[in-house]
Amino acid sequence: MSLWTSAEIAAATGGTASGDFAVTGVAFDSREVGPGDLFVAMKGEASDGHRFLDQAFAQGAAGAIVSAPTDHPHVLVADSFVALQDLGRASRARSSATIVGVTGSVGKTSAKEALFACLDRAAPGAAHRSVKSYNNHTGVPLSLARMPREARFGVFEMGMNHAGELAELTQLVRPHIAMVTTIAPAHTAFFPDESAIADAKGEIFAGLGSDGVAIIPYDSPHRDRLIGHAAPHAGRIVTFGLEKGADVRAIETMRLATGGTFVTAAFRDRELSFTIAQPGMHWVSNALGVLACVDAAGGDLGLAGLALAELGGLQGRGARFVAGDVLVIDESYNANPASMRATLAVLANEPGRHVVVLGEMRELGEGSDAYHAGLAEPILAARVETALLVGEAMAPLAAALEGRIDIVHVPDSAAALSSLRTILAPGDTVLVKGSNGVGLSRLVAALADGKN
């Protein structure tokens, strides 16, 4: 069954089809176009997708959305970006799937992937989710437009770095269930305080219908604030966490020799025991929220527990591999103060000599120096012997650690890789984490390729 026909695309976008064609996928990055895809040629500040139409069709595109004439099969619209949003909106309108929206300062991508794994275990091939971190004004409608018409579940990640962004995205997604993972300092350059971040994250609940379910972190200091945002919209509010009083809470946790955690959780009038493959108490909290979503979606909690036990680490978000005789923990995709602390706490329990490659945390505004310097104690608690710090914003942390452990402070990821070659020794465990713009994923790739 096709994902979209040219007639359906034209009807959804108000465009004009050049002829009959059908597509099985949607992409707006020409490098990602595959056989049968619809290529959405959008004009941006730095590039114009129309320049890559020949490339997209050479790679197997079956059709395109364009705002300028072309000889390729297409639907002609006034604005390709608006058309992508319209196509996402039409996908949501035609779907009978149970839709879950996920946001948070920390852990939203991991929670989205875990939730997808849980729902896919119960309904193989019938669950859909956002790929990668496509969670903004272009990524969300793309993910919606890609949702198969026969999907039973849809899981969509929504992100923001300014107030009002989630309010728009949640009206596109219109979730039946909306979850906030954690509220923490992130994008603080654009917010006066953490409460304002909580307010912005709380916008996700405005997309719920009267029978919708809001999933809220009970342990958060902003719990009541989030409940206040959810109450006017949600038919039901469910809290999750480690503290007594949460609707879904951990009764007992036990760290396993594999690094994961065995959890016994309470679900109102019942208990569930399960294993989480990923290490760290932040994963326990995330898993409780995920299971609350599964329960609200009518999924199978037993099968969800099995999925969590088998869940591997994501590239850039906890994936592990051995390079030579060195264990590498890849957290290179992103970083903020909360995620840094959580990951360092995991490192504390790892074997061997501990080495960290930490990239600067960006978009922290006036509090940046204090946030960076504040990582000194978590680093020491993690038994780190050598810290390789990357980026100018790491200077306050370097000063805070001076004379306490070995420090190397370099300007960029290329210099970091060069320095790391002289630092690592057999048996080491190295944690790599930083804001995505620092480019530490290239360092991780070099380690994986054995170029260290």
Structure tokens at 222: 């902003």
CA atoms of 127 and 123, how far apart (whole Å): 7
Calpha distance 162→157 (Å, rounded): 16
What is the token pair recorded at 321?
């591999």
Mutual angle of helices 108-122 and 301-310, in 10-degree steps:
120
Chain centroid, CA 254 distance in Å: 26
Q: Is 374 annotated as a binding residue?
A: no
SS3 167: helix
CA distances to 24, 69, 145, 373 from 33, rounded to whole Å, are 11, 20, 15, 43
Tokens (6 digits) for 127: 């669950």
Q: Is 106 among the annotated ligand-binding positions? A: yes
Q: Per the annotation, does 367 bind a ligand?
A: no
Q: Does an H or E element contain 82, and which? A: helix 80-94
Find out whether 314 and 139 touch, Cβ atoms under 8 Å.
no
188 is in an annotated binding site: no
Q: Count, in order, helices (H) and strands (E) of the chain.
A: 16, 22
Beta bridge partners of 263: 253, 274
Question: Tokens standing for 398?
Answer: 């370097």
108 is in an annotated binding site: yes
| Residue type at position 152 | R
Evaluate whether 198 touches 222 at the Cβ level (below 8 Å): yes
Annotated binding site for ATP: 104-110
Binding residues: 104-110
